Amino acid sequence: CAPTKPPSDEDAALCVLVDSREISSGTDVISALKAVHGLRVQVCSLGSCDYVVSNRMAVERKFQSELLSTVNRSKVTQRIQRLQGMFERVCVIVEKDRSRPGDPWKFLQRTQCYDGMLAALLQAGIRVLFSSCQEESAVLLKELALLEQRKNAAIRVPTEVEGSKQEMLNFYLSIPNVSYVAALNLCHRFGSVRKMVNSSPSDIAAAAQLSLQRAEELFRYLRYGFDAQMLPENISAKGKSDGATKS
Amino acid sequence: MAAKGSLPAAAGSVVVPYGHLVGSERWRGSEIARGLQGKTKLIFEDGLGLVDFHLSNRICVLYVSEADLVAGDEFKRRLVRFRNASSLGGIVIVEKTPISEQYFSAVQKLVVLQLGMALLPVANQEEASQLITQLVSSVERLRIVCHSVITCFRKLKRVREQSKDHSSNPFLRKQCSQLAEASVFRTVQQIPGVGKTKALLLLQQFGSIHQICNASVRELELVVGQTVAKQIHAFLGS
């Protein structure tokens, strides 16, 4: 059950995972990460968050305007809540909305909702960083990745998966509260699904770089006694896959 | 703004009464103090040391003005001294103006990434007072949240269903877990060759993912047939 692969070299390029949706909304962030900072950027469908900079830290990029009005409030909070279920550390980068060149210095029309959101984020132990543009967000992402590397939490496994490993990855991704990076670690650190399933919580924690608490949750999940009576009818019904079954 | 040579505060050294905010004497008559009037009960106290406002017994605010930023590194020494000596959670409020903007990213790096404290930019003291009002009400809600989480767990013990939790800070709401059945069902379907019908049969026969993973090909065959049994066994590996 021990990890099958030793950690790769210390001098391997710093790696961040980027959600595929950021290709359109964060073009300059991604190109700055690659070209200016020399990071290894792996685009994948993270779904739950915008960036993953280490085995335990997720980063959300939010425009100021998204936090200003109550319209997006529940959407933003739900997303961050989910992240807290998956990651030890969550960070939000509040980025100034893009303005046309030549626009005069514009003061932020601060709202109570904005202040309330910031207060709630801080109270929940979420790190909040402010950025004035995409390039600056890239700098912050690099700094966070470096900080996490110093704390020995850098992403060290290969981020590309092929063939049967892809099926294995999908299997791990379907487990509640297992993040993309945790699934990657499980894929690469355990020779097979069976080995992983038969490992102790502490072995799982060490291999997948999870906290012991999360590893125990995973351990219990794999042994959860399934009761068909408790399965919601809309899910068990044949051929009726609905939005609720997708994550 | 902080007096030189003053001592940083320790947790519990200042008692903040419920629903109140304790501010340093030096803020009396300031725009922030005026802005807070009527919104929160502000008490002034002497000898708060490096701290400008105490939001609760454990959380305080350090204010860095535009003038502090322009004046040089004195404010950095103040923040570092606070961080090294105080057990309080510190929120640094920084005046980010057209003049002080150039220093902002360096200050943010120091405060958030190096000192591990929170930082919030404001344009002026008026915005600061609005922000502090929200921070205070957030601290107060926190006590209510703690209470409601306990009630939530009590309810959960009795009925195994999603509880209705009305706590105000959404990020602190304890996520009451959904039934694991749906997730387990979904996970088993990720095994190649296994769809809804076979997943249900497998789970009904073996009871858990762990048991399915440790079933022999022969045991699997009885449920899903020879071809798929082999496929499953191959996927799960040695």
Give Cβ neighbours of residue A229 (< 8 Å, ≥ 6 apart): none
Q: CB A105 to CB B98 under 8 A?
A: yes
pLDDT mean over A85-97: 94
pLDDT of residue A104: 61
The distance from CA A111 to its chain's CA centroid, rounded to whole angstroms, is: 28
β-sheet bridge partners, residue A31: none
Contacts A103 to B, Cβ<8 Å = none
- pTM: predicted TM-score of the whole model, two decimal places: 0.85
> Average pLDDT of each block of 10 consecutive residues along chain B (238 residues)?
51 76 92 90 88 90 95 92 89 94 95 94 94 87 60 52 49 63 94 94 95 95 94 89
Kindly indicate whether the ipTM for this predicted assembly is greater than 0.85, answering yes or no: no
Q: Hey, which residues does A40 pair with through a beta bridge? A: A15
Contact predicate A179/A87, CB 8 Å: yes
Domain ranges of chain B: 20-144, 179-237
So what's the pLDDT on residue A149? 95
- Count CB atoms within 10 A of the CB of residue A9: 8
Q: Tokens 């609005």 correspond to what residue?
A: B130
pLDDT, tens only, A35-90: 999 999 999 999 889 999 999 999 999 999 999 988 888 888 889 989 999 999 99
CA distance A107 to chain B (A): 8
**Taking a C-beta distance cutoff of 8 angstroms, is the pair B23, B53 a contact?**
yes
Q: pLDDT at position B196, please?
A: 93
Sheet strands (E) in chain B: 20-24, 41-45, 53-54, 59-64, 89-95, 118-122
Tell me if A84 sits within 8 A of A124, measured CB to CB: yes
Mutate to test the interface with B, among A109, A123, A167, A246 (most CBs of B within 10 A): A123
Enumerate residues 6+ apart whose C-beta is below 8 A from B97: B66, B123, B124
Shortest alpha-carbon distance between residue B193 and chain A (Å): 11
Of B127, B137, B185, the CB nearest to A235: B185
**Which DSSP letter does residue B214 get?**
T
Helix (H) or strand (E) holding A27: helix A27-31
Please tell me the predicted confidence (pLDDT) of residue A4. Answer: 45
Q: What is the pLDDT at residue B14?
A: 79
Quote the pLDDT of residue A133.
93
Q: Using an 8 Å Cβ cutoff, are B116 and B141 in contact?
A: no
Question: For the CA atoms of chain A, what is the radius of gyration?
Answer: 20
Kindly indicate the confidence band of residue A105, based on its pLDDT and cuts at 50, 70 and 90: low
Rounded-to-integer distance, Cα B58 and Cα B10, Å = 9
pLDDT at A240: 42
Class of the CATH-defined domain B179-237: mainly alpha
Cβ–Cβ gap A238/B187 under 8 Å: no
CB pairs under 8 A between A and B: 167
- Give tens-digit pLDDT for A154-166: 999 988 888 888 9
Q: Identify the band that residue A245 occupies on the pLDDT scale cut at 50, 70 and 90.
A: very low
For residue B134, give the nearest of A78, A115, A168 by CB distance.
Answer: A115
- All residues of chain B having their beta carbon less than 8 Å from the beta carbon of residue A226 are 181, 184-185, 203-204, 207-208
pLDDT tens-place string over residues A7-30:
444 456 899 999 999 999 999 999
Dmax (CA) of chain B = 83
Q: Do A116 and B134 touch (CB under 8 A)?
A: yes
Q: ∠ CA A55-A57-A62 to the nearest 5 degrees?
A: 145
pLDDT of residue A244: 44
Q: What is the mean pLDDT of chain A?
A: 87
pLDDT digits (tens, 9 = 90+) for A120-136: 999 888 999 999 999 99
Percentage of residues in chain A having pLDDT higher than 90: 66
A6 versus A137: which is more confidently predicted? Answer: A137
Structure tokens given for A233: 């009818």
Strands of the sheet containing B41-45, edge to edge, are B41-45, B20-24, B53-54, B59-64, B89-95, B118-122
User: What's the CATH number for B20-144?
Assistant: 3.40.50.10130
CA dist B10 and B4 (Å) reads 17
